Amino acid sequence: MTSTLSPELKVACEIWHYNQLNEPIWFTKLVLSLEKHMDKKAVSHALDTLCDWMIIYGEYGETENGRASYLWYVDTHDGGDFRIRDLYEKCWKVEREKGVVI
């Protein structure tokens, strides 16, 4: 079964998922979370594209183990988080659980 979402939207949905859990999400954690779906290079490229599209933003903060890292967030300006939420609920939630690949 192939995915209905682009790599960029998968990354955005995964960031949204962790944002909703109030868990910090940084690059390494994101790569590990998406390892069944895409490789490290695809995650990095997707992050660049999502920042260019102003769907996500990052800022320095503290990880779960107290280290400093660049943390990712879905931009809530102009309803962007609602669009990502809808994609998460309609597509990514099921694909994430089933381990659907690109």
- Looking at per-residue confidence, does 43 or 97 come out higher? 43
Of the listed ranges 44-58, 66-80, 88-102, the least confidently predicted one is 88-102
Q: What is the pLDDT of residue 99?
A: 66
Domain boundaries, the chain: 7-98
CA-closest candidate to residue 61, choices 101, 97, 26:
26
Task: Check whether 36 has a pLDDT greater than 80.
Answer: yes
Q: What is the pLDDT of residue 97?
A: 75
CATH of domain 7-98: 1.10.10.10
